[in-house]
Amino acid sequence: MKKLIIGIGALGVMSFTTNQLMNTYQLAEAINNVQDMKEWMIQDQQSGVIDSVYAEYYLQNLNETEWRLMEFAESNRLTKPEGDYGVDVNGNITN
């Protein structure tokens, strides 16, 4: 009985760690996407592809979205995992 409880506990910890790592990875990717979009918007504004009024509006919203994602990460104590992690085509975390 003791071995069964230890086994169930170990599986629970492993599951939590995998979910936490996946959530952290997805959050880091979302923040990275917003930062990329901000760079593209600035480049488009400088090259005249988009009107400055629209660009400023979009940048304001992207800044707010980035801030909200970072606040969410801090409030949930999610930090970027150490190492170089990725996700394969099946949704599994790779290292």
Over its length of 95 residues, how does the chain's per-residue pLDDT go in tens digits? Answer: 555 555 555 555 555 566 666 778 888 889 999 999 999 999 999 999 999 999 999 999 999 999 998 888 888 776 554 555 555 545 454 54
Q: Where are the chain's structural domains?
A: 2-94
Provide the pLDDT for residue 17.
62
Buried b (16+ CB within 10 A) or exposed e, 5-27: eeeeeeeeeeeeeeeeebebbeb
Residue 45 has a pLDDT of 94
At 11, list the tokens. 């599986």
